[in-house]
C-alpha cells in the first residue's frame, strides 16, 4: 500500500516505511520527531519547479506535467522508490506542504500505483 502524509503529522505504526520526498528538510522538525526511514530529496521537484508552483500560485495540471518530465530524467531514483515500495507492505510518502491534495508525494504515489 502506498499512501501520503504530511511530515508534520504524528507518526503512526500504520505508516509503515516512511519516505520523505521533499528537497528541503521540514522546518522546526528534528530527525527523531520526523521518524523518517529514508530521505529521497533528489526525487523531489527541482528548486525552479518548486518555486514556480508555490510562489507564483500556478496550475496543478501544469505542475504535474512538468514534474513528470523531470522524473523521466530520474528513472534510477524512481526505480529505487519502486523497489522500496515492493520491499514493504506499506510505504508512506511524506511531504511538508500544507496542501494535502496537490504536492509531489501525490504525483509519486500515483506513479507507484501504476496510474497516469
Give the DSSP letter string of 89-109. S-EEEEE--S-SSSSHHHHHH
* pLDDT at res. 114: 85
Instruction: Specify whether the CB–CB gap between 91 and 40 falls below 8 A.
Output: no
Q: Is 84 helix (H, G, I), strand (E, B) or coil?
A: helix
pLDDT in tens, the chain (116 residues): 999 999 999 999 999 999 999 999 999 999 999 999 999 999 999 999 988 887 766 789 999 999 999 999 999 999 999 999 999 999 999 999 998 999 999 999 999 988 65
- Distance from CA of residue 106 to its chain's centroid? 7
Task: List phi, psi (to 5°) of 91.
Answer: -125, 130
Amino acid at each position: 500500500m502506498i499512501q501520503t502524509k504530511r511530515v508534520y503529522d504524528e507518526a503512526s505504526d500504520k505508516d509503515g516505511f516512511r519516505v520523505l520526498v521533499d528537497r528541503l528538510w521540514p522546518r522546526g522538525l528534528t530527525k527523531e520527531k520526523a521518524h523518517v526511514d529514508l530521505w529521497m530529496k533528489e526525487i523531489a521537484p527541482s528548486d525552479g519547479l518548486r518555486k514556480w508552483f508555490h510562489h507564483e500560485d500556478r496550475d496543478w495540471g501544469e505542475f504535474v506535467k512538468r514534474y513528470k518530465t523531470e522524473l523521466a530524467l530520474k528513472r534510477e531514483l524512481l526505480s529505487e522508490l519502486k523497489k522500496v515500495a515492493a520491499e514493504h507492505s506499506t510505504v508512506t510518502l511524506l511531504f511538508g506542504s500544507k496542501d494535502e491534495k496537490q504536492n509531489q508525494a501525490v504525483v509519486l504515489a500515483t506513479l507507484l500505483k501504476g496510474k497516469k
